[in-house]
Amino acid sequence: MRRAHAIFLAIAAFFSSSVQTCIAAPAKQANASVSREAETESKVAQVLGTFNLEGWNGQPLETFPRQIPAQDNKGILASGASDAIPANQLFGLESHTYDILAEFGVRKCFKRTYQRGQRFIYAVVYFFGSAEGAYGAYNYLRQGSSTIVVRGAGSSEDDQSISFWKGQSFVRLIQTSEEDEESKEALRSIAKVLEASIPASSLPPLVLNQLPVVDRVNGTEKLVMGPSSGRKFFPAPYIGSLSLERARAAVTADYRFQMPPERLKLLVVDYGNVSLAGSVYESYRSNLDAEHDTKNVSDANTPTGIVKLDNGYMLVQLRGARIFVIMGARKRVSPLMLARQIP
How confident is residue 16, by pLDDT bands cut at 50, 70 and 90? low
CA distance 88 to 85: 8
Instruction: Identify the CA nearest to 136 among candidates 44, 251, 217.
Output: 251
Question: Sorting pLDDT into bands at 50, 70 and 90, what band is 160?
Answer: very high
Q: Is the pLDDT of residue 79 over 60?
A: no
Kind of pairing between the strands at 119-128 and 322-329 = unpaired
Give which of 84, 86, 132, 80 is closest to 106, Cα–Cα.
Answer: 132
- Determine the CATH number of domain 206-341: 3.40.1000
The b/e string for 110-123 (b: 16+ C-beta within 10 A; e otherwise) is bbbbbebeeebbeb
Average pLDDT value for residue range 112-116:
97
Q: Does the pLDDT at position 326 exceed 90?
A: yes
- Phi, psi dihedrals of residue 247, rounded to the nearest 5°: -75, 150
* Residue 17 pLDDT exceeds 90: no
Average pLDDT, the chain: 88
Q: Is the pLDDT at 19 greater than 50, yes or no?
A: no
Q: What's the pLDDT tens digit per position in 234-270?
A: 999 999 999 999 999 999 999 999 988 999 999 999 9
Answer yes or no: is pLDDT of 149 > 70: no
Report the candidate in 265, 272, 229, 227 with the shortest Cα–Cα distance to residue 249: 272
- Same fold: 39-197 with 206-341: yes
145-146 vs 154-158, strand pairing mode: antiparallel
Fold of 39-197: Protein Transport Mog1p; Chain A (3.40.1000)
Domain segments of the chain: what residues?
39-197, 206-341
The model's pTM: 0.84
Contacts by 230-239, CB closer than 8 A, 24 or more apart:
230/267, 232/96, 232/100, 232/140, 233/140, 234/265, 234/267, 234/325, 234/327, 236/267, 236/314, 236/325, 236/327, 237/287, 237/288, 237/291, 237/309, 237/314, 238/284, 238/287, 238/288
Q: What percent of the chain has pLDDT over 90?
A: 72
In tens, the pLDDT along 212-242 reads 999 999 999 999 999 999 999 999 999 999 9
Beta pairing, strands 312-319 & 322-329: antiparallel
Has residue 210 got a pLDDT over 90?
A: yes
Give me the percent of the chain exceeding a pLDDT of 70: 85
